[in-house]
């Protein structure tokens, strides 16, 4: 948890590939590819829900394998690897800026917003709208149990944006005062369902009941290609000690569940803001087909390292 946020997680994983490439002791291309792929497998095991991570890994590995198949020398293959890593990291940062510009157009002067957790994309939309001179007020949930919402409140406060911090369970109480909800995403499936920090789906449900617009800001590399072929997005279960100290659980019949993410159905999402433009959730499959058409089901299967369980996935 020292590295938080799906975008930062992806960039850090790709940076690990870059470090591997730059420090490789391989004596031939076969050994180099094996080194890179071993790092890739290690990174893939770290955060099962953050789809941005495997997508970033695939971006680099696809180019490494392509270079190897075309007969690149060892030094050329190292350069190909480093270039792909730098490209992904730079593109991911540019995507955030673009999402901010596009999303800010959907924010009106005088809007009251609500957000959840700590999303760079959602924050960039709010920040950009504010810097364009739009007067805003933002409700920010604490986002238990790790309190990432406090980070969001601090960042907005540094900009001078009026912030009202609330506990997660107060979302419905304040929803009628909100014009727009904007959140990030850790993954978007092919049917437009959004996987995000636990509590997001309840916020979306409250927004729908109150007829408040529910917007999701997500880079295109957070869209899950596996879901095009029937795979599921695994929901990460974190340690129960984040919620309660083990010493406070006094009876063996008590267990603690701590899912880190939940799933918001596409019918609860009004629009998804990406760096490629704004789409309805039903168009997620089209974006995936456009962006990831070069990836085959066989390549996806090779990188699938998790056993997925229907009862905890989408």
CATH classification at residue 280: 3.40.50.10470
Which one of the listed residues 118, 186, 262, 270 is annotated catalytic?
A: 186
Considering the domain architecture, whether residues 227 and 103 belong to the same structural domain is answered as yes
Residues constituting the chain: 314
The confidence score (pLDDT) of residue 308 equals 30
pLDDT at residue 64, as a whole number: 94
Cβ-based burial of 168 (10 A; exposed 0-12, middle 13-18, buried ≥19) = middle
Cα–Cα distance, 96 to 125 (Å, whole number): 9
Q: pLDDT tens for residues 149-161?
A: 999 999 999 999 9
My answer on whether 110 and 209 are in the same domain is: yes
- Is residue 314 helix, strand or coil? coil
State the total domains in the chain.
2
Does the residue 22 lie in any domain?
yes
Q: Mark whether 111 is an active-site residue.
A: no
Helix, strand, or coil (residue 109): coil
Residue 294 has pLDDT above 60, yes or no: no
How many percent of the chain have pLDDT more than 90?
77
Residues 6+ apart with CB under 8 A from 245: none
Element (H, E) at 164: strand 163-166
Residue given tokens 């960042």 in the structure block:
155
Q: Do 251 and 288 sit in the same domain of this protein?
A: yes
Q: Is residue 313 part of a domain?
A: no
CB of 227 within 8 A of CB of 233? yes
Token couple for 6: 């799906």
User: Would you call 85 a catalytic residue per the annotation?
Assistant: no
Q: Quick one: pLDDT at residue 253?
A: 97
Please report whether residue 189 resides in a domain.
yes
Across 109-132, average pLDDT = 97
Do 66 and 125 fall into the same domain? no
Write out the H or E segment, with its range, that includes residue 33. helix 29-44
The CA-based angle 274-134-101, given to 5 degrees, is: 25
Q: Are residues 161 and 281 in the same domain?
A: yes
pLDDT confidence band for 49 (50 / 70 / 90): low
In a domain, 303, yes or no: no
Q: Which of 97, 131, 155 is the last residue of a domain?
A: 97
Q: Is 127 helix (H, G, I), strand (E, B) or coil?
A: helix
pLDDT tens for each residue of 184-233: 999 999 999 999 999 999 999 999 999 999 999 999 989 988 888 777 78
Q: Which residue of the set 117, 118, 262, 270 is catalytic?
A: 117
Q: Is residue 307 part of a domain?
A: no
Q: Which of 97, 127, 143 is the last residue of a domain?
A: 97
Q: 177-181, 232-236, 237-241, 251-255: which range is least confident on average?
A: 232-236
Residue 196 lies in a domain: yes
Q: Is residue 309 part of a domain?
A: no
pLDDT of residue 313: 38
Same domain for 233 and 150: yes
Q: CA 38 to CA 44: how far, in whole Å? A: 10
Are 142 and 212 members of one domain?
yes
Residue 240: give the domain boundaries: 99-296
- Please say whether the beta carbons of 278 and 271 come within 8 A: yes
- What does pLDDT average to over the chain? 90
- The whole-number average pLDDT for the span 36-44 is 92
**7 vs 42, more confident:** 42
Is 171 inside any structural domain?
yes
Same domain, 202 and 249: yes
**Among 38, 13, 42, residue whose Cα is nearest residue 24:** 38
């Amino acid at each position: 948890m020292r590295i938080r946020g799906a975008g930062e997680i992806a960039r850090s994983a790709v940076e690990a590939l870059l470090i591997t490439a730059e420090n490789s002791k391989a004596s031939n291309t076969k050994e180099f590819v094996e080194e890179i792929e071993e790092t890739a497998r290690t990174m893939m095991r770290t955060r099962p829900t953050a789809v941005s991570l495997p997508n970033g890994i695939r971006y680099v590995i696809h180019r490494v394998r392509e270079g190897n198949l075309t007969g690149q020398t060892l030094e050329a293959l190292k350069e190909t690897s480093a270039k792909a890593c730098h490209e992904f990291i730079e593109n991911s940062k540019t995507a955030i800026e673009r999402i901010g510009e596009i999303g800010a157009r959907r924010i009106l002067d005088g809007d009251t917003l609500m957000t959840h957790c700590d999303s760079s994309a959602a924050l960039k939309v709010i920040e950009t709208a504010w810097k364009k001179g739009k007067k805003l007020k933002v409700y920010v949930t604490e986002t238990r149990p790790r309190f990432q919402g406090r980070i969001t409140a601090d960042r907005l406060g540094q900009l001078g944006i009026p912030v009202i911090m609330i506990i997660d369970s107060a979302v419905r109480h304040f929803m009628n005062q909100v014009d727009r909800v904007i959140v990030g995403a850790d993954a978007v499936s092919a049917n437009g369902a959004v996987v995000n920090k636990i509590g997001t789906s309840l916020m979306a449900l409250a927004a729908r009941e109150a007829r408040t617009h529910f917007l999701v800001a997500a880079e295109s590399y957070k869209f899950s290609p596996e879901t095009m072929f029937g795979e599921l997005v695994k929901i990460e279960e974190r340690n129960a000690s984040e919620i309660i100290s083990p010493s406070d659980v006094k009876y063996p019949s008590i267990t603690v569940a701590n899912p880190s993410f939940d799933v918001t159905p596409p019918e609860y999402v009004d629009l998804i803001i990406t760096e490629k433009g704004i789409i309805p959730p039903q168009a997620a499959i089209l974006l995936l087909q456009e962006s990831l058409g070069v990836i085959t089901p066989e390549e996806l299967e090779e990188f699938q390292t998790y056993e997925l369980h229907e009862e905890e996935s989408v």
